[in-house]
Structure 1
């Protein structure tokens, strides 16, 4: 079949199982070939080919709402809903999103990039359906890893209580991004090996009805027998007690089993949980044999060998630099404990886990829990390192405020993927953390200019004993600078001048320092002297240096790869106002008030005019205004 000719899923209704098997192979080959060039979430999608086809054959999207939790597994859905011809643009600038996107298709009924949201969304849609007296199926597809998220468990509780007609598809491949952990994972493991239980309850009820009942006493006895036998035969009692009809486990690569169970689920009143077993990476050996999550999401790769296409002799990845420095310090300090919410691979903590298995805790997709576990450790004079992506730290905001900062606990938060991350787009851009952290009392927030300063900041954070401290670091690799052999501490709240100048000052940090230096060097040839300051402590400020700058009464430009509203530049303006420097010219460059979509980071920065050229133009304007006596 020509996948590029698919317009909608209706063609599936007339295909035989043999034709569906052929289609499955074609889709897998298509994904392996296309993603070898663009990169993407290949493992999850290879695992749900048959499941996705079966869903679209048995149900009528978009009338029936298929809700993909996380969205990492929606590529097959995109192919079947007419987007195969766009796959060469996947995750690229102005191309096809790697996640469900409402503007792309009416079949994308829910947008997501963070896990564990599908069940709550499904409940909302089910309530709306019933209030509007409509007739449709609601089908959240959630992974076994995402089911460990607190929000998913809250939703299960609510759905079971309300008895809404929702068919939950539990896609169980024993992994989320990394191997899953926790007691619920163990429950699912027992279900996988317990053998099938589909319709035992109904069969028991039918059998008991055939027993001639004499009076209410025997009827009551029969009901008790049914309840007792249910515990003997029903392997899914965890979900049954929550109010769900449990079906499964079902082979997620077997069309007959899927069709049979979907048919039964349609006829069942109340919430149903269909437990489907799939193989992550199925059909491509390197992804299928992956045991640690390397093939969850990748860059380009060579199809024949599975080797990833990476530059030779690249500087160390930021995640590795930070985690390995923590590991180095942990050899000397037994109080250091590492915590991650299901990201041991992404946060490069495999080495720490191997060397210190009893001091490494992957808590699953449970960011709130991770933050408060770190707080609890800190109360006992331990040194917790919480490794978490900026975009996922948003999910633990209350715990950072209430449990960490309010109690002024010595938690070291490693904010990975800070700034624009590129291909994953809006849901993963780490641009909000400065704005939602800098106003919190007790918190120190810093970002290094390069990996050498980064290792010293890690040491500074570990040695710091006066409360919570957070280190932002970007996605990708460092600059390749020489590394000091011995670690040192950096005085909290101190900035450094990287280039002297008297006509204007740039205050910036992290990834934007090269841009600032390039602009200053260019303007130097034009006769302007621009000072560049590494404002490495976003909070607290180097108040002494900043007051001296204001006293010089020269223009100030702040640059941050983060949202402008409430960010670092806003803090500089507030500081100037509070210290009554009303005449100082201050301007800001940063991420505008909008969600930044997916694409190469450099292309995204050019689109929002966040470039060296923009810095040059802004400084020329500021210096010109100052010379004319204007101020802002």
Structure 2
């Protein structure tokens, strides 16, 4: 059987193919993903589950006149393959390669840029309503959203609005029982009951007809009770009644790996002229045995594939240690430093064991935030709210009102989604909520939707909140302990992705004095002071060594707190040095360096100040090392800028 995929260079190339040929294309897309992503790494399981959906959609629609919206976008690799990017897939998530999610700059077929979940239905309603008003050529609008993303409140808001408007959009509910980890919550359980019980798939009409056919006049009684009673009886069995009560037509449950069935359902939905949901049951990791046969753990493990993790469409075999004829030789190499996430997870467990008021909250990222440790060892103190960051913060607020010490562990980029709750429900009421912001800074291959670069700026303006950032993993342990012990309002603690610096972890955490920094080195005759915050401290120390080699002595200090700022330390550095340099892994606009400039201005200081941080633009995807080099957040570039400032070759602002 000859391959078809090499002939597919645009969606229109699918239009003349038969159902059997399209099924073959879907399998070839799946194999292309296994071969490519298994070699280079990237999102994996979700994409294997959407091959047939992508093929069915593009075989019937006329993209980009018709709009296909992929929620999150980590399930959109098949879409990318079918829309002219097949031969570029090996560059995905690599620096200057294909974007990890959909990108409107990358392709006219990527209708929305995405990276955060639960947004596609709102986009779809907005697009279609604009079309209905003649602002865009009319076409079909289809949103593909996973059952995990449906736990996000914004998706439910869009469903309610579209039903009220009668907006003729189509939603494909890709139901695989997973997001990254297994889904949580009542809505997820409802979907699982439906997808796992074929007897419910078509029960609704059977129940309605059967009620009126019961013998001995019973059926007539049901008929006379009226439609409300019949609907309540049917609701017990009917899988789609929740949607229909919101004025959506429901089609399902469809086998999401059967192209013929998908196309049949899509044809019906596209001509309905009302909101329609097609409920598809799919398998995350379809066609990849370790995911399919590994159950929920296998699906979670293969959410993403590491580079060189697949060889000849099989999991790569780890190299065995060479046999030795003599006694075993113990390696003298030190173990690699633990990841910040691991250090945080273990420190939080220790705090929760010591203090029953400490509770951990995650928004569908148990392993990504390290809370899987708490989940495993102390499940009574663990809460997963699903993809619902707003609720996570409000849940923490409610716990704090009752005297708990809730720790909301949420990626910096995802905490942005709950900004109003942070302002209105936590800071305004001065509640003792701890925000543990993992992935602060440039996170790498996931790109601009996942970089945690705005939290310093968007939190620093809020009253009543304390902002802190550790320079290393040991300081992370101290700061978590400090945040939990603090009793005068919320604390936000940011720390990076990846391994720590290898410093020893404290046996007993210490409580830091809020708003105090620390001098780390103070050489004689220092003309320059480097004041770092978080990961900026290590950059400052390394830059100081480079400057020392050139005969430029530099003092280095760790601010530790961005709010309240250690004004005394800032004033001392300003008074004793010609140049003050702030170093932070966050946007400069409104960030830590801005806080220092404000403090200097208020104090009437005229010291020259140089701010080092991230530029006023969205930074692309790539390894952190490449991105840091691109934006100048390296010791070498910092030292170069300081040299220029000291010698007068560069103006300092």
Q: Please tell me the TM-score bracket, short chain as reference.
A: over 0.9
CA contact (8 A) 1:172 1:276 kept: yes
Shift of 1:422: 0.8
1:524 aligns with 2:548: yes
**Cα 1:204–1:487 shift into 2, 3 Å:** closer
1:225–1:615 Cα change, 3 Å? closer
Task: Return the alpha-carbon distance in structure 2 between the equivalents of residues 226 and 375 of structure 1.
Answer: 41
Alignment of 1:263-278 (within 5 A): 263-278=267-282
Separation (CA, whole Å) in 1 of partners of 2:62 and 2:203:
25
Instruction: Tell me how far apart the structure 1 counterparts of residues 295 and 229 of structure 2 sit (CA, whole Å).
Output: 46
Q: Secondary structure at the match of 1:531?
A: strand
Residue 22 of structure 1 aligns with which residue?
Answer: 24
Q: CA deviation at 1:519?
A: 1.7
For the residue of structure 1 that corresponds to 2:343, the secondary structure is helix
- The answer for the alignment partner of 1:505 in structure 2 is 529
**What is the distance in 2 between the residues matched to 1:480 and 1:190?**
47
**Residue number among 374, 377, 398 corresponding to 1:355 in the alignment:** 377
* Residue deviations 1:207-238 (CA, integer Å, cap 9, x gap): x9xxxxxxxxxx99997898678657742110
1:554 aligns with 2:578: yes
Comparing 12-21 and 529-538, the one that deviates more? 12-21
Match of 2:306 among 292, 299, 303: 299
Q: TM-score, normalised by structure 1?
A: 0.92
1:565 matched residue in structure 2: 589
Structure 1 CA distance, aligned partners of 2:402 and 2:203? 50
Deviations, residues 164-210 of structure 1 (Å, cap 9, x unaligned): 111111000001111111111122123222636569769989xx9xx
Alignment equivalent of 1:236, drawn from 230, 240, 247: 240
Show the counterpart of 1:322: 344
Deviations along 1:17-69, one digit per CA (max 9) or x if unpaired, are: 33233322222221112112321110100011111111111222111110001
Farther off after superposition, 510-519 or 438-447: 510-519
5+ residue gaps, structure 2, are: 213-222, 320-332
Paired residue secondary structure (1:268): coil
- In structure 1, the residue matched to 2:329 is none
Mapped pair 1:138 → 2:141: yes
Tell me the C-alpha RMSD between the 2 structures: 2.6
Matched positions, count? 617
Q: Secondary structure at the match of 2:569?
A: helix
Alignment equivalent of 2:639, drawn from 595, 613, 616:
616
Corresponding residue number in structure 2 for 1:215: none
Summarize deviations over 1:598-619 as a string: whole Å, max 9, x none.
Answer: 1111111222222223211221
Between 539-548 and 357-366, report the one with greater CA deviation: 539-548
Partner of 2:495: 473
Encode CA deviations 1:496-545: one digit per residue, 9 max, x unaligned: 12221420101112223232222211211221111111111121112221
CA separation in 2, counterparts of 1:433 and 1:153? 27
Question: Within 5 A, what are the aligned runs for 1:197-596?
Answer: 197=201, 231=235, 234-288=238-292, 289-292=294-297, 293-303=300-310, 304-305=314-315, 313-501=335-523, 502-581=526-605, 583-596=606-619
Q: Is the partner of 1:510 in helix, strand or coil?
A: coil
* Counterpart contact for 1:38–1:91, Cα < 8 Å: no
Aligned to 1:47: 49
How far did 1:341 drift?
Answer: 0.7
Hey, what's the Cα distance between the residues in 1 that align with 2:203 and 2:168? 18
Aligned residue in 2 for 1:125: 127
Query: C-alpha offsets along residues 323-349 of structure 1, whole Å, 9 cap, x if unaligned?
Result: 110101211111111001111121121
| 90 and 313 in structure 1: CA distance in 2 versus 1, 3 angstrom threshold | farther
